[in-house]
Amino acid sequence: MVMRRRVGRPLLRTAVVGGAAYAAGHSAARKSAQEADQNQRLAELEQQAAYQEQAPYPPQAPMPGPSAATGQAGAASASPDRIAQLKTLGDLHASGVLTDQEFETEKRRILQQS
């Protein structure tokens, strides 16, 4: 009687080994690509930081204060900077970040600045 050799098992074993090797190689390649992408982002951020250190913003001229012609009405009005601060404060209060007491305290502080 002639023994028949099973063809399926060696073929199955080869497929399993090959699939595992492919998966390991694919995983390593993906990690390598992620690391390369991360390194590129870090290099771009470092370049941006170096550029900002080299070229600071030019000094801005001070904002002119209220003139004598505007009188008390001009002196009592808030500067654009304080208006922006009050708007930001109002947004924080509306979103629930600040309590009513914190909002009132900060509003008084901003309005009392000269």
pLDDT in tens, 49-88: 777 666 555 566 665 555 544 444 444 566 788 888 889 9
Task: Select the more confidently predicted residue: 54 or 29.
Answer: 29
Nearest to 106 by CA among 95, 28, 90: 90
Choose between 66 and 48: higher pLDDT. 48
Tokens of 65: 């204060």
| Vertex 46 angle, CA 53 and 35, to 5° | 175
pTM: 0.32
